[in-house]
Amino acid sequence: MRTFINKIGIILFTGALTISLMNCKAVQNANNKQKGAVIGTTGGAILGAIIGNNVGKGGNGELGAVIGGVVGGTAGVLIGNKMDKQAQKIEEEIPGAKVERVDDGIVVTFDEGSGVYFSTNKYNINDASQTTLNKLTNVFKEFPDTNILVVGHTDSVGDANYNMTLSKNRAYAVTNYFTQNGVSSGRLTTNWFGETQPIHDNTTAEGRAKNRRVNVAILPNEKMVDDAKKQVGDN
């Protein structure tokens, strides 16, 4: 997949800013039509939304290449407008999912209470999950100028190596479902973290259920960025 920045190091450098950004209500909830022109090239918040509050403690450098930076100026406003519309569509179609507008992208989080379900130690897409993923697939087809990152996670029960493989299998199960239903494989990247990136307390049943999750990040592709820059006359 083509990247929007030339150096992964930019994202890793800005990772230190992610925790404070993710705790800022304005960053989590601001309308990006307004925010795009002023946020500049800060970046890194999508990374935090995907892997939780452990940006400085681990993670996979490949994500930096996929996620890229933030487009500022008027072009950023145009991109934000398009991504706002897509986020709204997802919220309308899948009301149980957690949908966040972060930087230039959208992060959708599915856990066991929001539409994509995996039985214990399983990674097959069951009938209940298919309904949700079919709706998301239709949104992807309606908004083709985006790239899609699928990331798998588990709770901390069991062997860490086993959980890493399980999160990989679950993430690829979702990715493969998208491609089998007409989403171009060129738009998709898959990653996984096992139990290493919890967002809730693994000592409680409720927390473990929320840590067994798949994140889907939707990001502007090169065509969307180029079109926005041409529209405003940027080089």
- Side by side, the strands of the sheet bearing 146-152 are 98-102, 105-110, 214-220, 146-152, 188-192
pLDDT for residue 66:
54
> Does residue 3 sit within a domain?
no
> Does residue 208 sit within a domain?
yes
Give the pairing type, strands 214-220 and 98-102: unpaired
Domain extent at residue 23: 8-232
> Does residue 52 sit within a domain?
yes
Give the up-direction half-sphere exposure of residue 223: CA atoms within 13 A in the CB hemisphere. Answer: 7
Residue 74 has pLDDT above 50, yes or no: yes
- In terms of C-beta density within 10 A (0-12 exposed, 13-18 middle, 19 or more buried), how is residue 58 classed? exposed
**Count of structural domains, the chain:** 1
pLDDT digits (tens, 9 = 90+) for 34-49: 323 322 233 466 666 6
Q: Which of 35, 5, 1, 37 is closest to 234 using CA atoms? A: 37
> Does residue 1 sit within a domain?
no
> Does residue 133 sit within a domain?
yes
> Does residue 205 sit within a domain?
yes
Q: Provide the percentage of residues in the chain whose pLDDT is more than 90.
A: 31
Cβ neighbours of residue 84 closer than 8 Å, sequence gap 6 or more: 31, 32, 33, 101
Which CATH number goes with the domain that contains 227?
Answer: 3.30.1330.60
pLDDT for residue 218:
92
Does residue 115 contact residue 82 with C-beta atoms inside 8 Å?
no
> Does residue 2 sit within a domain?
no
pLDDT digits (tens, 9 = 90+) for 100-156: 888 888 988 886 667 777 777 888 888 888 989 999 999 999 999 999 999 888 999
- pLDDT band for 59, please (50, 70, 90 cuts): very low
Does residue 18 contact residue 48 with C-beta atoms inside 8 Å?
yes
Dihedral sign of CA atoms 104, 176, 15, 209 in order: positive
